[in-house]
Amino acid sequence: MARSQRSQALLQFGLFCGIILFVNILANSFYTHFDLTEEKRFTLTQPTRELLRSLDDRIYIRVLLDGDFPAGFKRLQTATREMLDDFRSVTGYIDYQFEDPAQGSVEEVNARRKALLDDGIAPVNLRVNDQDESKQQLIYPVAIVHYGSRQIAVNLLENQSPTLQPDEKVNNSVSLLEYKLANAIKKLRSPGRPVILFTRGHGELDELQTIDLERSLHQYYDTDRILLDSSVQVKPEACALLIIAKPRGTFSERDKFKIDQYVMQGGKVLWLVDRLNADLDSLRTAAHFIPADYPLNLEDMLFKYGARIQPDLVVDMECTQIPLQVGVVGNAPQFRLFKWYYHPAVMPVGKHPVVKNMDRVELKFCSSIDTIRTKTPVAKTVLLQSSRYSRLQFSPIDLNFDILKYEAEPSKFDKGSQIVGVLLEGTFPSNYENRVSEEMLSGLKQIGVEYRSSSVPNRMIVISDGDVAANFVRNAAQKEWLPLGLNRFEKATYANKDLMLNAVEYLVDATGVIEARSKEVKLRLIDTVRANDEKTFWQVLNIGLPLLLLGIFGAVFFWLRKRKYAG
């Protein structure tokens, strides 16, 4: 009898071990989870899933995030690993490895850092604050994605802004992991490089003024200039995006018609348009300056598409600063920084992928934008707007520095937030509907193209400042320039480049991978004051309660066993 019970117990134990072993084998073979979070942070977007399912060759990812990091930064490390596991759950073509660039001898570490720097990968000195400590560490928050003979380095750490707390930087970085990794895979697999054309011939920004933006675009796109007057037409197949950056001359009806039919056929346009001829240099040479309207002849087109740039200037209390001379010591002039209300530091609004988790953008002499009801359905999404402490100055405007002589009164900046950047999406009506000339129709007939009175589903972005895409040129003769977004007076970098790159990505992207930028990971911070006050209680509860439950379980088990075998 005793031998039978012992054999049965051994058999049950062996069966239990076998089940545990089988479950572990299944767990290692299949990766899955249930996403119960409110914001669905662990669920991949549909475009990302479709991209991963379309893979037909290996993607190898080196993540330079192995090692001992401060507790706060380990969250990004863990989130990156979990995101790559999510990718692998969709496709078996994803392989990854975590590496520690600081591992090895001093010579090996220095050689590794030099090799990374030669590839354009620089380290970051990150400070992460925990409850009881503050640490600084030289790290490489980078994933290097390999596909065949091509590779792309992905910066995993987002928003290197001094205005953000470390926890906010890490949180923003985690929320953008899917987009950054999926976007890199998409770019590596793209058989060709889309072409982006900047218009010229109307006083637009030149190559030196957009050199930083174009260098950043060259990683994924080809860029060039196009003279509309010398072009027969602009084809969407040959031009993925047309950028009209700060034109100052008149667009002829012929040029406008080419742009219009380009839009009707599905061509994307990024409009960076100043309405008034206002700049800081004009005030440097004259005590007063009255800016005139640029004779662009584009107002009717934008109106037809759903936007109107008003002949005014947005004056905002939340702005950047400029230096003005306040005195002379000896022979040396003395300067001090003053708030310049005509240079708003606008905060991107909403959760749209173009502007989500983005820092402030510096604009210069921008105008307000009205959205217009169109004949065809066009959705308008506000991307940029001034602060609620804003007002408008309507043309004609007497620009001078007298506005800085007195302390700004918030009560006078009472017009609320003004739209300065808008996304238009939908079916656009042609600007030349019912007024196409015979010459225009003849030109289309010669190239075998029919006139279209409405567009295919399309999108465009309108921003009322051309300087948003311009880097400062220090010396044109020697081609010296500063990075896009860097304010040379404040020594601070604004998010102008991020805005331009995101806008280009959204307009060009046909797969919808950028949808992942709209994912939000809410930052739920612990109440440190309450945690300190109740520290002892929770320590006792976490240690004592399991022991108490174990004791109760043992006592009940002993009592049941004693009762069973008492007879």
Is residue 223 in a domain?
A: yes
Is residue 62 in a domain?
A: yes
- Residue 525, pLDDT score: 47
- Residue 524, pLDDT score: 46
Would you say the C-alpha torsion 302, 308, 309, 314 has a positive or negative sign? negative
Query: Which phi and psi (to 5°) does residue 222 adopt?
Result: -100, 140
Residue 229 sits in the same domain as residue 183 = no
Residue 232 sits in the same domain as residue 203 = yes
Total domains present in the chain: 2
Is residue 558 in a domain?
A: no
- For the record, the structure tokens of 222 come out as 């080809």
Domain boundary among 129, 156, 188: 188
* β-strand partners of 127: 136
Asked if 219 contacts 488 with a C-beta cutoff of 8 angstroms, the reply is: no
Residue 183 sits in the same domain as residue 236 = no
Residue 156 sits in the same domain as residue 88 = yes
Residue 152 sits in the same domain as residue 214 = no
- For the record, the structure tokens of 160 come out as 């290197």
Measured CA to CA, the distance from residue 288 to residue 266 in angstroms comes to: 45
Establish whether the linkage from the previous residue to 396 is cis, with ω within 30° of 0: yes
Domain boundary among 144, 167, 188: 188
List the beta strands (DSSP E) in 235-317: 241-245, 268-272, 307-309, 312-316
Is residue 66 in a domain?
A: yes
- Residue 33, pLDDT score: 55
Counting other chains too, the contacts that 406-412 makes at CB distance below 8 Å and 24 or more residues apart are 408/317, 408/339, 408/341, 410/317
Structural element, H or E, at residue 369: strand 369-371
Residue 392 sits in the same domain as residue 500 = yes
Residue 314 sits in the same domain as residue 371 = yes
Residue 52 sits in the same domain as residue 149 = yes
In order of 137, 276, 300, 349, the CA distances from 394 in angstroms are 51, 10, 20, 25
What is the domain-level CATH number for residue 275? Answer: 3.40.50
User: Would you state the torsion angle of the CA atoms of residues 454, 230, 268, 246, taken in this order, to the nearest 10 degrees?
Assistant: -120
Is residue 550 in a domain?
A: no
Residue 241 sits in the same domain as residue 155 = no
Asked if 481 contacts 208 with a C-beta cutoff of 8 angstroms, the reply is: yes
Is residue 137 in a domain?
A: yes
Is residue 220 in a domain?
A: yes
Asked if 286 contacts 370 with a C-beta cutoff of 8 angstroms, the reply is: no
Identity of residue 311: P
Domain that holds residue 112: 24-188
Is residue 12 in a domain?
A: no
Describe the crossing of helices 71-90 and 46-53 by its angle, rounded to 10 degrees: 60
Query: Which phi and psi (to 5°) does residue 123 adopt?
Result: -75, 165
What is the gyration radius of the CA atoms in the chain, in angstroms? 30
Residue 178 sits in the same domain as residue 198 = no
Domain boundary among 129, 161, 188: 188
Would you say the C-alpha torsion 504, 216, 101, 123 has a positive or negative sign? negative
- Residue 34, pLDDT score: 53
Query: Which phi and psi (to 5°) does residue 111 adopt?
Result: -65, -40
Structural element, H or E, at residue 182: helix 177-189
What is the domain-level CATH number for residue 80? Answer: 3.40.30
Q: pLDDT digit of tens for each residue in the chain (567 aa)?
A: 555 666 776 777 677 777 877 776 765 555 555 554 554 556 788 888 888 998 888 999 999 888 777 766 788 888 899 999 999 989 989 999 998 888 888 888 888 888 888 877 888 776 655 555 665 667 888 899 999 888 888 888 875 555 556 666 777 788 888 888 998 898 888 878 899 999 999 999 999 999 999 998 988 899 999 999 988 889 999 999 999 999 999 999 999 999 999 999 999 999 999 999 988 887 777 777 888 999 999 999 999 999 999 999 999 999 999 988 777 777 778 888 889 999 999 988 888 889 987 889 999 999 999 999 999 999 999 999 999 999 999 988 888 888 887 788 888 898 999 999 999 999 999 999 888 888 888 888 888 888 999 999 999 999 999 999 999 999 889 989 999 999 999 988 899 998 999 999 999 986 677 777 665 554 444 555 566 777 788 888 888 888 888 888 888 877 877 777 665
CB within 8 Å of 77: residues ≥ 6 apart: 65, 66, 69, 98
Residue 308 sits in the same domain as residue 442 = yes
Residue 255 sits in the same domain as residue 388 = yes
